[in-house]
A and B are shown apart, each in its own frame.
Chain A
């Protein structure tokens, strides 16, 4: 609903309703992965930057990790560099890696600029800065249907995150904007999937919330229905039986690892929804899939055993 169509009491009500959320997340660290189609839409991108600035200005500690998405593919194609993908990962030779770094750097500075324009202070960093992301070369193991292990070139996985630089920036009120490039022990730069970086960062920082923004409504279950909440074992099952494939597979795996290591709240949300980030953080409307640990309530099962239990008073 565009703000202009709301009456003043409605606007006031919306602001008042955000208060408990603002209070709850004050001083808390939120890791937000921005990627997908929203990055190609100037209005959504600007809206995202405004939302991040707003969260910072009301006292939360947002950290942005962004992908490169379609722009990498577009530029590779324009430059006539062949780009293949294996199970959602791009095979990246040296020429392709130069393009990846160029595109990521450009997106990074765009986001920093936009967040700054909305009144927060953003700082762009990559894994090289402060030796922040230690990477290792990623090889996709052989699986049924793809019998050879695949070398992906300059594609890496997170070996370790040294969060000092991020903590330093947060301690002074800056919004870190992170491009997903890590460095191997020999100084080689690796492009790392941004969901993996965001997930690992959330685990290392014991973040309150991990939000992975994508360009689909969320995770779909075996019946093709959008899952609003997934327990860890439900998510495991969707990964094991191959229901979730491609980029979402990596995303859900990152989400699951974060949940298992105690990140309290992990959400995979639709970045194509206007103000998706604000809706996720400041309201109880759901704009995607929440992944949670197996511990905790199981509504109907709990009720069934409660109804079957001994008579109460």
Chain B
């Protein structure tokens, strides 16, 4: 499943956010999902935080993919948040994170949802992609970049 407009709407992209730490990030993501998808912000923030407690979703190189299963959600939905200042996220390379792809999946998460995360991880593993993403200054450009990416 590609990260297309249906999964990652432009309204769910927030660039150069001023967020002091993981808790701030989860709240900001929750607010985005509430505003544009009608999901309850606080519950989403709490679910993201709960998943993070199992182990960091940081991938290294300044990238993380926080995610959560949400009861009542019928299809996966994503948000992308870039922080102006990288925040400490317990990433495996011990480096703070500035690029977050946040994914919410239905409560009955499937292999397909795992595949989305693996796909996003592969995407972020491409230095060219990371560089182009960091060069994006408007949400629409970031959305197009996610939609256009194809594995090399």
A-contact 0/1 string along B100-120, CB 8 Å cutoff: 000001011110011001100
**CB-CB < 8 A to B121: which residues of A?**
299-300
CB nearest neighbor in B for A300: B118
Q: Which residues of A contact B54 (CB under 8 A)?
A: 302, 305-306
Residues of A in contact with B, size category: 20 to 34
Cα distance A311–B117 when bound, in Å?
A: 19
Q: Is A264 an interface residue (CB 8 A)?
A: yes
Question: Of residues A21, A299, A306, which shows the largest number of chain B Cβ atoms within 10 Å of its Cβ?
Answer: A299
Choose from A228, A298, A312 the contact partner of B71 (Cβ within 8 Å): A312
Task: Answer whether A228 and B95 are a contact pair too, CB < 8 Å, given A284-B62, A306-B54, A312-B47.
Answer: no
Interface of B, secondary structure class, is mixed
How long is the Cα–Cα vector from A165 to B59 in the complex, in angstroms? 39
Given contacts A286-B60, A312-B69, contact A297 B90 (CB under 8 A): yes
Chain B residue at minimal CB-CB distance from A13: B84
- By a CB distance below 8 angstroms, the chain A residues around B10 are none
Partner of A296, one of B90, B96, B105: B90
Best-buried of B87, B96, B97, B118 by chain A (most CB within 10 Å): B96
Residue in contact with A300 in the complex, picked from B61, B71, B96, B114, CB distance below 8 Å: B114
A100 within 8 A of B: no
Query: Does the CB pair A284–B107 fall under 8 Å?
Result: no
| Interface size grouping (class) on chain B | 35 or more
Q: Does A229 contact B (CB under 8 A)?
A: yes
Judged by a CB distance under 8 angstroms, whether B85 is at the interface is: yes
Does the CB pair B51–A285 fall under 8 Å?
no
Q: Which of B60, B94, B114 has the most CB of A within 10 A?
A: B94
Cα A16 to Cα B16 in complex, Å, equals 13
Q: Mark A14-25, 1 if CB is under 8 A from B, else 0.
A: 001101110010
| Pairwise interchain contact B71-A284, C-beta atoms closer than 8 A | no
The answer to the question of B142 belonging to the interface, with a C-beta cut-off of 8 Å to chain A, is no
Q: Does A303 contact B (CB under 8 A)?
A: yes
Contact A296 to B86, CB < 8 A, known contacts A285-B61, A285-B62, A313-B71:
no
- Nearest CB on A from B127, distance (A): 8
Task: Decide: A297 near B58, CB < 8 A? Known: A17-B85, A19-B85.
Answer: yes
Contact B61 A302 (CB under 8 A): no
Is there an interface contact between B109 and A290, defined as CB atoms closer than 8 Å?
A: no
Q: Which residue on A lies nearest to B93, using beta carbons?
A: A290
B50: Cβ under 8 A from any A Cβ: yes
A304 on the interface (CB 8 Å rule)?
yes
A285: nearest chain-B partner, CB-CB: B61
Beta-carbon contacts under 8 Å, A9-37 to B: 16-17, 19-21, 24
The answer to whether A228 and B125 have CB atoms under 8 Å apart is: yes
Shortest Cβ distance from residue A9 to the other chain B in the assembled complex, whole angstroms: 11
Asked whether B12 is an interface residue with its Cβ less than 8 Å from the other chain, the reply is no
**Inter-subunit contact B93/A302 (CB<8 Å):** no
Binding site for B on A (CB under 8 A): 16-17, 19-21, 24, 228-229, 264-265, 283-286, 290, 292, 296-300, 302-307, 311-313
Q: A284-B95, A311-B107 known; 11 other A-B pairs, CB under 8 Å?
A: A16-B84, A264-B94, A286-B61, A297-B90, A302-B54, A302-B55, A303-B57, A303-B67, A305-B54, A306-B51, A306-B109
Q: 22 pairs across A/B with beta carbons < 8 Å?
A: A17-B85, A17-B86, A24-B88, A228-B93, A229-B60, A229-B92, A284-B62, A284-B96, A284-B98, A286-B60, A286-B93, A290-B60, A297-B57, A297-B90, A297-B92, A299-B59, A302-B54, A302-B55, A304-B114, A306-B69, A307-B110, A312-B107
